[in-house]
Chains A and B, each alone.
Chain A
Amino acid sequence: MIKLIAPFTEEKIRSLKVGDEVLITGTVFTGRDAVHKYLHEGGKLPPEVNLHNGIIYHCGPVVIKDEKGEWKVMAAGPTTSIREEPYQAQIIKEYSLRGIIGKGGMGERTLEACRQYGCVYFHAVGGAAQVLAECIKKVKGVYMMDKFGAPEAIWEFEVEDFPVVVTMDSHGRSLHKEIYELSAQELAKRL
C-alpha cells in the first residue's frame, strides 16, 4: 500500500505503476459529464477551483445539508469514466492534471495524455459509496451547483487515505487494455 499525500507532484505521479494500491490524502475536485463537456467547450472554472497539479474525481455524490446547515456526504463512489474519454486528454493537458479517480478505465487518448503530461488513472471500487464517503473528511466547497445540479456540480473534498488502484500509469500501461485482450482470447476459445 502506497501513501500519496498532497501536493501531487509529477515526480510522485511518475513513480506509480499499474497494480499499485494507493491511499490518497489531500484535496480532490469532483467533475463528471456536464463539467467535462463544459470545459471542452471552453467554459471557465470559478477561481476557487484550481486543478493545476490536481486530481479530478469522476463522482456524483449524494450530499445533504444537516441541521447546522453544513454539507454532509451521504454516499460518494466513482462513476463510469469512459464517458469522459472525448474530453479528458485535453483537460489533462490544459490544467496539468496529475490524477483522475474513476471506474472502468479510459481509452487510448487519455492513456497517451497520461504518458505525455504525467498523470495517472486511479480506479476506485465502483459502488463502494460508503467506504469512500468515510474517507471524505470535509466538504471544502461546491461550485456551479445552480448550473449543473448536485450530482454534476464541482465538489471540493478533503480526503484522507482514499483507497484506489493504479490501473493506467504514466508509462503507457493500462490494466484495462491487458484484461480486455486476455479475456477476448479466452472468450474466442469458448464461442
Chain B
Amino acid sequence: MGNLKDSLVELIRRTSAEIPEDVYKAILSALEQEKKGTIAESALKIINQNIALAKQRSQPICQDTGSILFYVDCPKCFDQIEFEEAAKAAVKEATEKGYLRQNSVDSITGKNSGTNLGPGSPVLHFHQHRSPDVVVRLILKGGGCENVGAQYSLPYEKLNANRDLKGCRKVILDAVFQAQGKGCGPGVIGVCIGGDRATGYEASKRQLLRKLDDRNPIKELDDLEQDILKTANELGIGPMGFGGKTTLLGVKICALNRVPASFFVSISYMCWAFRRQGFVLDENLNIKQWLY
C-alpha cells in the first residue's frame, strides 16, 4: 500500500493548504458584501491573502490543523486494516513535513506524541458500498471551532424551545450567537436533529462534507437552512465577531430518528478555514478524481 500512503500524504497536504472551491467562493462573496473601510472588511482581506499564501507555499492555512477525520467509502472485502496502517503512516509523514501540527496530546499525562498518532487520532469512519471505487474524504477540524459546538436537549426552557422545528431554530441560532468571536467566523454549521448524543454529533460533523452551494432535498430542512443563514447574518456579529454582515457562510442540516424520550439538536461549527478535501481511488489505489 505504498501508493496509498503517498496519495494520503498528498490528500493531507492539499486539505491543510488549499481551501475548497465552494468555500473560497463564499468567502469572496462575503468580502464583496462587507462595508468598505471597516475592520470586518480588513479581516476578510487578511483571510483572502492568507488563502492565497497558504496555497502558494503549500503550508497550513491555519496552524491548528485540528482533529484528523477520515471518511472512507469502500467496496466489499476492502482491507480496512491496511488502510488504517497507511493512513497512520501518512499522518506521521505529513506531520514531519509540517503539513500538520504536532497536535495529539495524552489527556492523562499532557504529553504530546509528536506524531499525531495515539488513541483517537486519526479518526477513521468506514462505510461499505457496492461500487469498486474507494472514496476518501478528509476534514481537518481545528480546536477553536470544535470547542463552540453545542448539543441541546429539547425542550430547552431557557429559550422556550419546544420539540418541533421552531424549537430547533431557536437553539441553532443560540449556538451561532454563543459562538461569536470564538469560532473564527464567518463559519459554517453542520446540524443534526435527533439521534443520540454520540450519533447526533457525528452526523452533524458529516454534514460538513456537503458542498456549500448544494440544497437540502428535504423541503423542511432546506427552508430551515435558508432561514438560519439569513437570520444569522442579520445579527451583526460579522467576521471574527468584529461586527458586520457575514456571520455564517453556510448551514447544513440533517435529521436522524430519535427515541421518544430524547430530542437532541447537535451543532458542529466549522471555521472559515474550512479544510475539507477528498478523492476517488481506482482499483489500483491511484487517484482518479478530486472531489472538492
Partner-B contacts on A (CB < 8 A): 19, 21, 34, 59-62, 64, 72, 74-77, 79-80, 82, 103-105, 123, 125-131, 133-134, 149-152, 163, 165, 167, 175-176, 179-180, 182-184, 186-187, 190-191
Question: Known contacts A165-B242, A179-B242: does B177 contact A129 (CB below 8 Å)?
Answer: no
In Å, the complex CA distance between A127 and B182 comes to 11
21 A-B pairs with C-beta separation under 8 A:
A60-B64, A62-B63, A64-B98, A79-B144, A103-B144, A126-B62, A127-B47, A127-B184, A127-B273, A130-B60, A131-B53, A134-B53, A149-B112, A152-B112, A165-B42, A167-B242, A179-B243, A183-B237, A184-B177, A187-B173, A187-B174
* Nearest CB of B to A143, in Å: 16
A19–B57 touching, CB < 8 Å: no
A21 cross-chain contacts in B, Cβ below 8 A = 39, 42
Cβ-closest chain B residue relative to A105: B181
A179–B59 touching, CB < 8 Å: no
B64 cross-chain contacts in A, Cβ below 8 A = 60, 77, 79
Q: How large is the interface on B (under 10, 10 to 19, 20 to 34, 35 or more residues)?
A: 35 or more
Question: Known contacts A127-B50, A130-B50, A151-B112: does B62 contact A75 (CB below 8 Å)?
Answer: yes
Is B272's beta carbon under 8 Å from chain A? Answer: yes
A180 cross-chain contacts in B, Cβ below 8 A = 180
A19 cross-chain contacts in B, Cβ below 8 A = 39
B102–A151 touching, CB < 8 Å: yes
In Å, the complex CA distance between A56 and B96 comes to 27
Is B198's beta carbon under 8 Å from chain A? Answer: no
* Nearest CB of B to A105, in Å: 5
B39–A80 touching, CB < 8 Å: no
In Å, the complex CA distance between A26 and B272 comes to 29
A126 cross-chain contacts in B, Cβ below 8 A = 62, 144, 184, 240, 271
A-B contact count (CB 8 A): 159
B236–A149 touching, CB < 8 Å: no
Is B280's beta carbon under 8 Å from chain A? Answer: no
A129 cross-chain contacts in B, Cβ below 8 A = 50, 54, 59-63
Best-surrounded residue of A19, A186, A187 (most CB of chain B within 10 A): A187
A165–B236 touching, CB < 8 Å: no
A131 cross-chain contacts in B, Cβ below 8 A = 46, 49-50, 53
B130 cross-chain contacts in A, Cβ below 8 A = none
B243 cross-chain contacts in A, Cβ below 8 A = 175, 179, 182
A125–B103 touching, CB < 8 Å: no
B101–A75 touching, CB < 8 Å: yes
Best-surrounded residue of A21, A129, A133, A176 (most CB of chain B within 10 A): A129
Cβ-closest chain A residue relative to B147: A80
B53–A127 touching, CB < 8 Å: no
In Å, the complex CA distance between A142 and B109 comes to 22
